[in-house]
Each structure stands twice: as structure tokens, then as C-alpha cells.
Amino acid sequence: MEYQNLKIDDQDGFVTITLNREKALNALNTQTMLELRHFFGTDGPAHEGLKGVILTGAGEKAFVAGADIKEFMALGDNGGAEMAQRGQDVFFLIERFHVPVIAAVNGFALGGGCELAMACHLRIAGPNARFGQPEVNLGIIPGYGGTQRLIQYIGKGKAMELLLTADMIGADEAHKLGLVNKVVEAGQEVAESRKMLEKIASKGPVAISKVIESVNAYFETERNGFNFEVHAFGETTRTEDFKEGASAFVEKRKANFSGK
């Protein structure tokens, strides 16, 4: 697929995806969602040696300032539910991706932008980052998982407040609430995300994937997270990575993981 709205930069298996619609504050339109689906559903899984992904927005003003409102206005009677389902399907691909995905939030992360950031495994924000779900201002609600994931990160009470008032919160408050993992200096969002991915990539690749799956299992009603963890643990103990990691620990050396 030829990407039009996503700029893909691959450096040694660390991929930075820039949502490249700066004039539209990187708003999520149909084309952008199709491209995200293609990367996380096709190109990403097929990428040998992929170690991690960083999502960020072009320019200094916005990560993603929301969805494309003009497209909303063109929806028919059944179009809203269909759009929401398509969006949730894409964001589940990100949430369940086999390597870590970090949102490097460099400005507004509102509506669909906040939902996209929450679908990532980690969030690193600059001081100018702003988070919010302002959909009620338009007479609608979040449709890409916002009412569900916001509760997971900051709890029901505060999530309900932000969803009902449409208030925005800054990077520091988002960090205190647990929505953001780290706040860094302006312009350092991507660099700090790369640094964190490099640290994670030094661990056992199979184990990293199983951690992602196991944490997600806690929130999936069709799974028992504790049972899933038992089976995932058992799988990791049969890997070459475990043998190498255990040997390296005993021999007091750095492990050389193969991802097998």
C-alpha cells in the first residue's frame, strides 16, 4: 500500500509513524484509518526484525486533534455505528500488536486522537500535550473506545467527569492520573520514546509479546486473565529465550536473545 497520510521511518527495526496532515491538525479521516489498518494489520506483522513502533503527529500543535468532522456530517442513519466499529477494529490492532507501540504526544490529543493514544501500549508526552474527549460538545460520544479505555487508565470517577464535561487536561495532570507514562521536554517526545523502546528491546522478545497479550487479557471479557497468564508463562519457559536468559543470569553476562 502506498501511504499518503502516514510517513513511515524505519531505523534498525524501530519504526516511527508520523500522522502527516499538519494543516488539518492530523485529524483522523477515512484514508488515515485505512493506512493505520494496513500497517498494523499487514505491513507491521510481516516486518522481520521489528522491535517497536512510535506514533506521533506532524508539526508542533497536534498529535491528533480528533476525527474529521466533515466526514461525520456525511454519515447516514447507520453510518455512525459502522464508522465506530471500523475505528475500534483498527485500534484493537494497535492495542494487540505484538511489539510495543508508544504514542509520542506532541500537542493536542483530542477525541479520536486521545483514543488513538490510549490504544497504544505507552504514552510519552511533551509539556504542551493536551488530552480530552470533547465529543459531547458535538452532541455525540466517543466511538473508538474512549468511554472504555479512559476508565481503564484513570478510573471511573475521573473518566466520567472528563467525558461529561469535555474538559481537557494537560500533560502533568495526565501523568498524575496515570494516562501518561512520562512527561519530557518539548521536542524530545520521539527521542524519549525511542530510548524506552531500545530498553524494552533488550529484553526477551517472546516475553514482551506475552506481557502485552496477558495484560490485554485482563480487560477482555471472553478471557480469564489469570488463566491466560498461566498458559503464557508455560509457553515462555519452553523458549530458547528463557534458556538463554537464565544462563546469562547465572553466568552474570548480558543475554543474547533470539526471539525464539
Question: Helix 205-219 to helix 240-250 angle, to the nearest 10 degrees?
Answer: 110
Q: Do 86 and 235 touch, CB atoms closer than 8 A?
A: no
From the candidates 115, 189, 192, 213, which is the catalytic residue?
115
d(CA 63, CA 111): 11
From the candidates 95, 135, 189, 213, which is the catalytic residue?
135
240 is catalytic: no
Residues 6+ apart with CB under 8 A from 209: 98, 99
What residue type is 172 in one-letter code?
D
The beta strand positions in the chain, using DSSP E, are: 6-11, 14-19, 52-57, 62-64, 101-105, 108-110, 122-125, 130-132, 169-170, 182-183
d(CA 81, CA 44): 27
115 is catalytic: yes
d(CA 153, CA 174): 10
Closest Cα partner for 135 from 144, 125, 126, 127?
144
Positions marked active-site: 115, 135
